[in-house]
Amino acid sequence: MSTATARPPRAPTVAQLRSFLAVAEHRHFRDAAAAIGASQPALSGAVAALEEALGAQLVERTTRKVIITPLGERVAGHARRVLSSLHALTEEVEAARRPFTGPLQLGVIPTVAPYLLPVVLRLVRDRYPDLELHVHEERTPALLEGLAAGRLDLLLLALPAGGSAATRDIPLFDEDFVLVTPPDHELAGRADVPRDVLLDLDVLLLEEGHCLRDQALDICREIGADPRGGSTRAAGLSTLVQLVAGGLGVTLLPATALDVEAGRTDRLAAVRFAAPAPGRRIGLATRAGSARSAEYDRFADELREVLRELPVRIVE
Using the predicted structure, report yes or no on whether residue 166 has a pLDDT greater than 80.
yes
Position 250 scores a pLDDT of 87
| Of residues 165 and 84, more confidently modeled | 84
Position 146 scores a pLDDT of 92
Contacts 24+ apart (CB under 8 A), 137-146: 137/107, 137/108, 137/109, 137/110, 137/113, 138/107, 138/108, 138/109, 138/110, 139/109, 139/110, 139/209, 139/210, 139/211, 140/109, 140/211, 141/209, 142/107, 143/107, 143/108, 143/109, 144/285, 146/105, 146/107
- What's the pLDDT tens digit per position in 238-273? 888 888 888 888 888 999 999 988 877 788 899 999
Separation between Cα atoms, residue 146 and residue 83, nearest integer Å: 12
The model carries a pTM of: 0.69
Averaged pLDDT, 88-95: 77
Position 306 scores a pLDDT of 95
Arithmetic mean of pLDDT over the chain:
87
Look at the chain and count its residues.
316
For the chain, percent of residues with pLDDT exceeding 90: 52
Averaged pLDDT, 191-208: 83
Run of H or E residues at 233:
strand 233-234
Averaged pLDDT, 44-69: 90
Separation between Cα atoms, residue 132 and residue 247, nearest integer Å: 44
Lowest mean pLDDT among 10-24, 63-77, 110-124, 203-217: 203-217
Separation between Cα atoms, residue 70 and residue 160, nearest integer Å: 33
Averaged pLDDT, 284-310: 93
Averaged pLDDT, 205-228: 69
Pairing verdict, β 102-108 and 131-137? parallel
Separation between Cα atoms, residue 238 and residue 104, nearest integer Å: 28
